[in-house]
Amino acid sequence: MNEGHLVLTFNAGSSTIKYGLFDCTAGEPVHIGSGIVDLRREPLMLHMQEGAVIDDIALTAPLTEDLREVIDEVLDRLGEHFPLGSLLAVGHRVVHGGDQFDGPVRIDDTNLLAMEALVPLAPLHQPHNLQLVHALRHLRPDLTQVASFDTAFHRTQSNLVRHFAIPQELFDEGVKRYGFHGLSYKYIASRLARLEPSLAAGRVVVAHLGSGASLCGIEGGKSRDTSMGFSTIDGVPMATRCGALDPGVVIHLLKQRRMPLEEVEDMLYHRSGLLGLSGISADCRDLLESGAPAAQEAVEYFALHVARTAAALATTMGGLDALVFTAGIGEHQPPVREAVCRHLAWLGLELDSEANAANATRVHAASSRVAVLAIPTDEEQVIAEEALSVGQPLPA
């Protein structure tokens, strides 16, 4: 590997830090390593994968609020396996880019302040993303850092789609539909363009179904509509998030039941969705294996709302040429794909049961009027590509 041709990516959450390492010697990022630190474990553990080799390494660094000592030890451990002196750039997933950022940017003082100003729009996600940026700035101020935004892909949507039916001054202040999971959708759009260019040029609904879930209507590779709006709680039900909810319910909980705001927030984000519906588990795999009626009903509810949302996005685009499933549930749960497509049979969707059961890429029947595919997503690949494109050395 030539010097200056490695890109490191970070995807930080409230309880985990995921990383990816990419060799860019050939001009495009090639994945050579990945791992995760589970911040909930005692002691902290670095789960590292290098090719076919998987290793779990206990970390000795204390877990502090600024994460500096943990990140310092992670970099030391990675340096034992990879020449981190050859780092060209570090790319970060940043959930919210607001209206300021419509693509990746090099993180300087000005951009960092702008990202911090967006924390109120994503208070449960943005601080964790920026925490790593600050830690690396302290530990390795020489490193070029690049931000990739989950909202940027959706900046091609019209204001007609982005508006809520509330006073205009609130829209002007930033209360609007932003959309999320954009890095995943960007990857799927590019992957579909290679697999099925004619479909990619048409009207496609992509269902990113994981513990967080949303759908996006993509026309000609551009986002036209999406299910998540102002926050990551909107749209279809998720593992623990409620999805779209009549705002009157929130008013009722606050005024009539006098629930504290923090308790309402915790319920809607952490105790609703599949977990709240079933009372059993937030994990779709557990629910599919369970014989309990509540588990079956939760999965059926999820599938119905995914199908309803797909139909709504098709309406925005004026038709549907392909439905693409991705992320953990979308890629690996044939019964969920089957249930969603059953609800959409009136649009001409027909599955090939054997291809669907095998988690094939193309799972539609030959007679289907709409193509149905299951394509694994790779947000880290997009982060690496964007870090490479923005993080090249500045001209002298």
- Which residues are marked as active site? 150
- Is-contact 160 177, C-beta < 8 A? no
Please tell me the total number of residues recorded for the chain in this structure.
Answer: 396
Where do the DSSP E strands lie in 273-385?
322-326, 371-374
Q: Which residues contact 95 (CB under 8 A, 6 or more apart)?
A: 122, 125, 126, 129, 149, 150, 151, 180, 232
For residue 203, with 0-12 CB atoms within 10 Å meaning exposed, 13-18 middle and 19 or more buried, which class applies?
buried
- Is-contact 135 63, C-beta < 8 A? no
Cα(186)–Cα(183) distance, integer angstroms: 5
Residue 144: name the closest of 3, 2, 9 by CA: 9
> Whose structure tokens read 């990383």?
19
H or E segment and range at residue 31: strand 30-38
SS (HEC) of 105-133: EECCHHHHHHHHCCHHHCCCCHHHHHHHH
Residue 1: name the closest of 130, 60, 88 by CA: 88
Q: Which residues of 57-93 are buried (b: 16+ CB within 10 A; e: fewer)?
A: eebebeeeeebbbbbbbbbebbeeebebebbbbbbbb
Residue 221 DSSP label: T
Q: Which residues of 343-381 are buried (b: 16+ CB within 10 A; e: fewer)?
A: bbeebebbbbeebbeeeeebbbbeebebbbbbbebbbbb
Residue type, 110: T
Show the CA angle centred on residue 324, arms to residues 319 and 329, nearest 5°: 135
